[in-house]
Amino acid sequence: MTARFILAANVLLSRRLQNLLRIDENVEIDMSYITCAEYQLFIYEKLKGAEHRQPDQWTSYSFPPGDARKPITGVRASDAEEFCEWLTQQQFALGFKYRLPTLAEVEEYPVTEKQVGCWCLDGEQRIILGIETQQQQSWEQELAEVLALNRLLKFYRDLKLDLNRDLNRDLKPDLNRDLNRDLNRDLNRVLYCDLYCDLNRDLKRVLNSDLNLFLNRDINLLLNYDLNFILYRDHELVLKLVLNRDLNHDLYRDLYRNLHRDLNCDLNRDINRVLNRDLEAEFKAIETSKSSNFLLYFPLLSILVIYRFLSATYEVISQNKEALNTIELSSQESEAISRKYRESLNEIYPLYVYLVLLDERQAGRMPAWESIRIVRERVE
C-alpha cells in the first residue's frame, strides 16, 4: 500500500465522516456505503497483526483494480462490527463511537443504491437490509438452483416414504434366497451322509440277525431306498422350515443390530475425525483466500446425505416394532437418534450454503451484497 493511496483513502473517509446525516443531537447516520478504498485502510491495519479481514471472495488482500470507489461487499457481520470499533479508536478522543445502524434506522433512512445491502442490528441478530426485494429474490433463486442438495430433496422424501417398505421387501427375499440355496446344499450333504449311513448300518444289523442272506440283501435294498426317501424327505422339510425360520430371524435381527451399532460407532467416529481435521485446515485457508471451496463443500454434501439418510432411517424404524426389537431400542430412543442427526444436518447446512455461495462469487457467477453503513453516536 503506497503512501499516496493511504492519503487518498483517508481523505475519502474524512469527507464521509464530515457529511453524516443528523438524526438527533446525539446520533448521525451515513447515507452511503463504505467504499473499498476506505475499508482497505482497515484491512491493512489488521494485517499488521496477522489478522485477515478482507472479504472472503477476494483472491488477495487488496480490492480488484478499478473498484476503489465502489461499495465494499462480501463483508462478514463480525468484520463490519470490528470496522466500526476500529473507526471508534481513530475518533474516540472526539467523544464519539461508531456502530452499525439499527433496523429501524435503515428503514427510516434508506440509501439510493439497491443492489447492495448493509449489516444492521435487529435485537441480538445481525441482518442484511436495503436490497431491492425483487433483486434479493432473484439472487436467492439463483443460489437455490446451484445448491446440489436441493436436487436431492425429492430423493430424500421418497427415501423416507419407501425405506420401511424396501427394507421388508428387499431384505427378506435376499435372505430367503441365500438361505434356501445354502441350506439346501448343506442339508443334502448332511442328510445324505448321516441318514443314509445310519439307516444302512442299523438295518444291516437287524436283518443280519433275523433273516438269511438272500432276504437280507433284497429287503435291505428296498427298505434302505424307501426309508431313506421318507426320512430324508420329512427331515429335510422339518429342518428347512425350522432352520429357515430361525436363521432368517437371527440374521434379520443381527443385521439390524450390527447396522445400528456400526452406523453409530463408525460413522460418528469417521465423520467427526474428518470434520475436525478438514474444517480447521480449511477455515485457516479461507482466511488467507487459499481455500479450494469445492474440495470442502463437496465432502460436506456427502455428510449431509449420510445424516439425512440416518435421520430418515431411524424415523422409519421408530414406527416398526420388529425393527425396534431387533436393534434393542425403544421408539423414543430411535426418534431421539433421528432428531440428533437432523439437528446435526441443520448445523452443517448453513456452512455448506456459505461455501457454495463463496465458490459462485469467486467464479464471478454471483455478486456479493453485504456492505457497511455506519452510525456515529455521542458517548456520554
Q: What is the pLDDT of residues 365-380, one digit of tens each?
A: 899 999 999 999 988 7
DSSP 76-90: -HHHHHHHHHHHHHH
Residue 211 has pLDDT above 70, yes or no: no
99: left (phi over 0), alpha (psi -120 to 50) or beta: beta
Q: Is-contact 118 128, C-beta < 8 A?
A: yes
For the chain, list the strands marked E by DSSP.
21-22, 27-29, 96-99, 117-122, 125-129, 370-371, 375-378
Q: Average pLDDT, stretch 172-192?
A: 51
> Which pLDDT tens digit goes with each residue over 262-290?
555 555 555 555 555 555 554 555 444 44
Q: Could you tell me the pTM of the whole model? A: 0.61
* The three grid cell numbers given for residue 2, joined into one nine-digit string: 503506497
Confidence (pLDDT) at 98: 96
Mapped onto helix, strand or coil, the DSSP state of residue 127 is strand
Give which of 77, 13, 4 is closest to 39, Cα–Cα. Answer: 13
What pLDDT is recorded for position 210?
A: 45
What are the cell numbers at 70? Answer: 465502489
- Per the model's pLDDT, the better-predicted residue between 208 and 321 turns out to be 321
pLDDT on residue 276: 55
Q: Specify the range with the lowest mean pLDDT, choosing from 66-80, 168-182, 340-354.
A: 168-182
| Phi, psi dihedrals of residue 151, rounded to the nearest 5° | -75, -10
What average pLDDT does this structure show over 197-218?
45
Amino acid letter at 60? S
Query: Which pLDDT score is estimated for 292?
Result: 52
Q: What is the mean pLDDT of the chain?
A: 75
Closest CA to 372 of 176, 89, 78: 78
3-state secondary structure of 102: strand
**DSSP designation for 311:** H
pLDDT at 41: 96
pLDDT of residue 146: 82
Instruction: Please check the confidence at residue 45 and state whether its pLDDT lies above 50.
Output: yes
pLDDT band of 125, cuts 50, 70, 90? very high
Average pLDDT rounded to a whole number, residues 184-193: 49
Is a pLDDT exceeding 50 seen at residue 27?
yes
Mention every residue, 6+ apart, whose C-beta is less than 8 A from residue 58: 64, 74, 289
Helices (H), 19-152: 36-47, 77-91, 103-108, 133-146
Q: CA dist 78 to 83, 219, 326, Å?
A: 9, 99, 50
Share of the chain above pLDDT 70, in %: 59
Quick one: pLDDT at residue 57? 92
Q: Which residue has the higher pLDDT, 28 or 179?
A: 28
**Residue 335: pLDDT band with limits 50, 70, 90:** very high
Mean pLDDT on 328-335: 90
